[in-house]
Amino acid sequence: MTAPLLSAHGITKRFGSRIACRSVSFELWPGEVLGIVGESGSGKTTLLNCLAGRLAPDEGSVTYETVSAGTVDVHRLSEARRRLLTRTEWGFVNQDAREGLRMGVSAGANIGERLMAIGARHYGDIRQSASDWLGRVEIDLDRLDDRPTTYSGGMRQRLQIARNLVSNPRLVFMDEPTGGLDVSVQARLLDLLRGLVDRFHLSAVLVTHDLGVARLLTHRLMVMQGGSVVEDGLTDQVLDDPQHAYTQMLVASILPV
């Protein structure tokens, strides 16, 4: 590919007089996982929502290289096309799995929804695909007809991931995907994500406040403070040789285990 998959050009977002996001620009190439780290209030979630088309920036634009329709300006798309994009080529993993799932229907229905939304009409095939994906996220196949209300937090998160990946997206946005989970559950989930990113050649933008998660999952890192990107580069380089004062402080603050 000769063009970046996702480009941000001067993204600025204000809430009243407060600047949540200040002129953020970057290019994401296929196969890259970009981490956005920062503490609460850094603007990282606002940035993610602007990138994913959920929030319109006040200035700047987000462009995306589609599979078959060239480059599109994400916020200039019609709502219909943007919604279609988010259901096919993109994925979004919410921190709280409940926001990304239908809690009232079975896991199979949750995973099958994207397929049905784009016209799948064979129950048996849909069920089989859902079952395959349940296996890939390491949930017991006999939980296929159970509702996510009966799932643990870690299982719900894995279900949310399966629901997103069933449409073979090229780009996945993740907002603190392991937030709020027990440490061992986190580890398992991170592992799974790592494997899936590798196996399906996913590109991703991952927001996290946890540098350990960033180290494990991301190739590149952007450090945000007060709405601005204060440092960016390869993940290992930003974490091992931080240049900016804030980054140095963040890295030094990691508790040793």
Partner 1 sequence: MPDTNYEDGAYNYAYLDEQTKRMIRRAILKAVAVPGYQVPFGGREMPLPYGWGTGGIQVTAAIIGRDDTLKVIDQGADDTTNAVSIRRFFARVADVATTTRTEDATVIQTRHRVPETPLKEGQILVFQVPIPEPLRMLEPRETETRTLHALSEYGVMQVSLYESIARHGRIAKTYNYPVLVNGRYMMSPSPIPKFDNPKLDRNPALQLYGAGREKRIYAVPPYTPVKSLDFDDHPFEIETWTECCALCGSRESFLDEMIVDDSGTRRFICSDTDYCQERQEERQGK
Partner 2 sequence: MKIMSPVLRVAGLAKSFFMHAQGGLELSVLRDVELDVAPGECLALVGPSGAGKSTLLRSLYGNYRPQRGSIRVRHGDGDEEKWVELVNAEPRITLDVRRHTMGFVSQFLRVIPRVATVDVVAEPMLRLGASLEEARQRAEFLLSVLGIPERLWSLPPATFSGGEQQRVNIARSLIADYPVLLLDEPTASLDTANRDGVIDLIRERRNAGAAIVGIFHDVAVREALATRLYTVESPGVAA
Q: Among partner 1, partner 2, none, what does residue 219 contact (CB within 5–8 Å per kind)? A: partner 2
Distance CA 174, CA 208 (A): 9
Q: Which is nearer to partner 2, 152 or 248 (CB)?
A: 248
Helix axes 107-117, 123-136, angle to 10 degrees: 120
Q: Does 121 bind partner 1 (CB under 8 A)?
A: yes
Q: Which is nearer to partner 1, 125 or 191 (CB)?
A: 125
Exposed e or buried b for every residue in 129-149, given b needs 16+ CB within 10 A? Answer: bbbebbebbebeeebbebbbe
Which of 98/122 has CB closer to partner 1? 122
Extract the tokens encoding 1: 């590919």
The distance of closest approach from Cβ of residue 110 to partner 1 in the complex, given in angstroms and rounded to an integer, is 8
For the record, the structure tokens of 68 come out as 């078959």
Among candidate residues 41, 65, 34, the one with its CA nearest the CA of residue 234: 34
x/- site string to partner 2, residues 204 to 223, per CB under 8 A? -----------xx--xx---
3-state secondary structure 69-102: CCEEECCCCCHHHHHHHHHHCEEEECCCHHHHCC
Beta strands in 29-161 (DSSP E): 33-38, 59-65, 71-73, 90-93
What x/- string results for residues 213 through 232 when contact with partner 1 is judged by CB under 8 A?
--------------------
Judged by CB under 8 A, which stretch of 61-69, 115-123, 166-174, 191-199 contacts partner 2?
191-199
Instruction: Specify the stretch interacting with partner 2 by CB under 8 A; choose among 10-18, 147-155, 156-164, 184-192.
Output: 184-192
Which spans of this chain sit near partner 1 (rule: CB under 8 A)?
Answer: 79-80, 83, 102, 105-106, 108-109, 112-114, 116-118, 121-124, 126-127, 144-145
